[in-house]
Amino acid sequence: MQRAETARAALLCSHPGADIALLKVDVGSLKSVLEAAKELKQRYRRLDYLYLNAGIMPNPRIDFNAFINGLFSRKAIHMFATGEGLLTQEDQVTEDGLQNVFATNVFGHFILLRELEPFLCQSEKESLVIWSSSSNARRSAFSLTDYQHTQGKESYSSSKYATDLLSVALNNHYNKQGLYSSVVCPGLVMTHLTYGILPPFFWTLILPIMLLIRMFTNSFTLSPYNGAEALVWLFKQKPESLDPLAKYYSCTSGLGSNYVKPVKMDLDEEAAEAFYQKLLDLETKYRCWQNVK
C-alpha cells in the first residue's frame, strides 16, 4: 500500500479538495475480491467508472534465439511492439483452484464487476468499465476449451485476449442498462512488469533503438505517463460514442506527442458470448463451493 499512499499524497497536493480513498484488494483471491466489493458497496451509492488495471506476468522467460532472429528480420518492429513469439510464463494454481494469471487478470475482475453490477447499472447516468489489455493479446494463445490456459506457456497473452472478449460480451449484455465497457492498450511501458522480463540495464542499452523504432511505430510509449493517455482519454468520452469492438491504444509519436488510436480487435462476437457463458458457469460453481464451505 506504500505506493498507493504516495500517489494519494501527491494527488492531494495538486488537488487538495479531492476525496481520495484507498482499498486493498488481491484480485487473484476471490475471498479478497468479495471482501473489497462489500466494502465498496458500503462506501458508495453508485460507481461511474471502474478501471480494471491489475495484472501479473509471473516468471517471464524470453526466447533469445527468437529474439536474435527477429531483431535482424523484417518483423523486428512487430516483435518489439507485441512480444509475439518471445514471451512465456510459468503459471501456478491459486488457493481457489484457478490458474493464477487467469484468476488475477480476468476472473477476479469479473467477480468484482458482478458484485458491483447494481452500482454500475444506474438509469440516471451511464457508467464505464475500462480494461487494461495488451498488444500481446493474441487469438492464437487463447482457447475456449482451455480458457484458463492450463496447457500452454503464454498465459499472459491468453488472459489479455480473454479481457478483450469479455469486454465485447459485456457491451452486448449491459449497454441497455447503462453500463459500457472499453479496452485499452498502454503500449510498451517501462514498469516493474517490464523489468521482470529483462534486467533494467538491458532496457537502458536498447533504449536508443526503441526511440528510433518509435519513428515507425508509435506504440512505444515507454513512460507510465504516456501509457496512461488512453485511460485518461476514455474518461472524457461519452460511453455510448465508443466502438465496442475497438481497442484504444496509447500512442507516442517520434516527436513525443501523445494521442489515442482505436484499432479493431481480432475477435468475433460469438466467441465473446461463449466465453462470457463459461465465466458465468465458473462463477456459479465457485459460489456453490463457497456455500458448501
pLDDT per residue over 133-153, tens digit each?
998 899 999 999 999 999 988
Least confident of 58-67, 84-93, 260-269: 58-67
Write the DSSP assignment of the chain as a string of letters: -HHHHHHHHHHHHH-TT---------TT-HHHHHHHHHHHHHH-S--SEEEE------S-EE-HHHHHHHHTSTTHHHHHHH-TTTEE----B-TTSSBHHHIIIIIHHHHHHHHTHHHH-BTTB-EEEEEE--TT--GGG--GGGTT-SS-S-HHHHHHHHHHHHHHHHHHHHGGGTEEEEEEE--SB-SHHHHHHS-HHHHHHHHHHHHHHTTT-TT--BSHHHHTHHHHHHHTS-GGGS-TTEEEEEEE-TTS-EEEEEEE-S--HHHHHHHHHHHHHHHHHHHHHHHH-
Examine the pLDDT at 187 and tell me if it is beyond 80.
yes
Examine the pLDDT at 90 and tell me if it is beyond 80.
yes
User: Which pTM does this prediction carry?
Assistant: 0.89
- 207 or 178: which carries more pLDDT confidence? 178
Active-site annotation, residues: 156
Examine the pLDDT at 220 and tell me if it is beyond 90.
no
